[in-house]
Amino acid sequence: MSPTRLGQNQYGKAETRVVRVTREGRTHHIKDLNVSVALSGAMDEVHYSGSNVGVLPTDTTKNTVFAFAQQYGIASAEQFGILLARHFVTSQDSIGRARIRIEEYAWERLTEQHSFVRKGQETRTAEVTYDGAGWQVVSGLKDLVVMNSTDSEFWGFVKDRYTTLRETRDRVLATEVSARWRFNWTRDEDPAPQWDESYAQARRHLLEAFAGTYSLSLQQTLYAMGERVVEHRPEIDEVRLSLPNKHHFPVDLEPFGLKNDTPDSAVYFAADRPYGLIEGTVLREGAEPRIPVTD
């Protein structure tokens, strides 16, 4: 008898880039996605003996992404993920669970017709998981850089023999927001959220909470951001945030005979690394955490 056994496993095609151009005469619309498919189910035999009887080739999953984009269009990242996940689970007996991860890249019109420029603010994300009985949809965004040039303090922290950081009552607070939020929609028979509207509003509440919170710590700001989304969006039960602290340190200009703290200006060094990383989850009362802490 072997001393080992197979644990959790999955397979699929990662990062299929698909761009769908919808033409309404001379006016065009663009959907630009990066789609990753992960499938799991009755896959023991292929690992133990190499038998591919139950294996849908990863190349087929790639082709399905392209075919579905043409056949059904891309209404939203979430809806496209739902179509794909349902197809893989219901069309193959060996597949019991499908997880679709999507990044969406936004384009902004340069003209009213067919000229665009790639937006650079953030990347929209979506993760759809289906097991044949229920859904889990987690949307989000990443790479959204924000800054408050004041209304942030940091003091009263623990100090030991290695502490050199000075307390401050006025600092720059900047971060690169990575946020994921889980919908409480799990069943086909229930009305699905309006995915695009929900994304726009969740993003708005994240930004308004960041801008409107007088911050004594980045942890406080994190909680305020997640709390605002949960309070204002009833379709969302959980928000997980990862906020790297993009440190801005005042530059010492005294060696040059300059004072770097005047009423009308200040100069900072924007540090690249190392950086503080603040992470946390905000839950609706009674909800259980389901978004994984790490990928």
Q: Which of 90, 107, 133 delimits the end of a domain?
A: 133
The tokens describing 78, both together, are: 């979430």
User: What would the mean pLDDT of 89-113 be, rounded to a whole number?
Assistant: 93
pLDDT tens readout for residues 15-38: 999 999 998 888 898 999 999 999
Residue 237 CA to its chain's centroid (Å): 15
At residue 8 the predicted structure's pLDDT band, cuts being 50, 70 and 90, is very high
| Res 65 pLDDT > 80 | yes
Confidence of residue 265 (pLDDT cuts 50, 70, 90): confident
Please check whether residue 1 lies inside any domain of the structure: no
Q: Residues 146, 280: one domain? A: yes
Among 99, 116, 98, 103, residue whose Cα is nearest residue 18: 103
N residues, the chain: 295
Q: What is the pLDDT of residue 262?
A: 77
129 counts as catalytic:
no
pLDDT score for 261: 79
Q: Active site includes 29?
A: no
Residue 45, both tokens: 């035999």
Structural domain range at position 214: 140-295
Q: Do 247 and 273 share a domain, yes or no? A: yes
> How many CB atoms are located within 10 Å of the residue 102 CB?
25
pTM for the predicted model, two decimal places: 0.91
100 and 174 share one domain: no
* 237 and 179 share one domain: yes
Q: Do 181 and 288 have their domain in common?
A: yes
End-of-domain residue from the set 133, 148, 176 = 133
Q: Residue 292 — very low, low, confident or very high, per pLDDT cuts 50/70/90?
A: confident
The three state secondary structure string of the chain is: CCCCCCCCCCECCCCEEEEEEEEECCEEEEEEEEEEEEEEECCHHHHHCCCCCCCCCHHHHHHHHHHHHHHHCCCCHHHHHHHHHHHHHHHCCCEEEEEEEEEEECEEECCCCCCEEECCCCEEEEEEEECCCCEEEEEEEEEEEEEECCCECECCCCCCCCCCCCCECCCCEEEEEEEEEEECCCCCCCCCCCHHHHHHHHHHHHHHHHHHCCECCHHHHHHHHHHHHHHHCCCEEEEEEEEEECCEEECCCHHHCCCCCECCECCEEECCCCCCEEEEEEECCCCCCCCCCCC
Shared domain check, 225 and 179 = yes
Tell me, yes or no, whether 278 lies in a domain. yes
Q: Which of 87, 205, 247, 248 is catalytic?
A: 247
Q: Indicate if 214 and 104 belong to the same structural domain.
A: no
At 181-197, the pLDDT tens digits run: 999 999 999 999 999 99
* pLDDT bracket for residue 253 (50, 70, 90): confident
Catalytic one among 28, 29, 58, 142?
Answer: 58
pLDDT band at 40 (very low <50, low <70, confident <90, very high): very high
Question: How far apart, in Å, do the first and last CA atoms of the chain sit?
Answer: 33
Q: Are residues 27 and 47 in the same domain?
A: yes
* Separation CA 156–CA 165 (nearest Å): 11
Looking at the fold, whether 108 and 164 belong to one and the same domain comes out as no
Answer with the one of 67, 101, 133 that is the final residue of a domain. Answer: 133
Q: Say if residue 107 is in the same domain as residue 145.
A: no
**Do 146 and 128 fall within a single domain?**
no
Instruction: Indicate which residue of 13, 62, 87, 248 is catalytic.
Output: 13
Angle, alpha carbons 176-182-184 (nearest 5°): 155
Q: In CATH, what number is assigned to the domain containing residue 118?
A: 3.10.270.10
Does 2 map to a domain? no
Stretch 112-120: mean pLDDT: 79
Same domain, 144 and 284: yes
pLDDT at 211: 95
Domain count, the chain: 2
Question: For the ranges 101-115, 142-156, 241-255, which has the lowest average pLDDT?
Answer: 101-115
Is residue 144 within 8 A of residue 122, CB to CB? The reply is yes
Q: What is the mean pLDDT of the chain?
A: 93
**13 an active-site residue?**
yes
Query: How far is residue 200 from each of residues 92, 116, 203, measured CA to CA in Å?
Result: 35, 20, 5
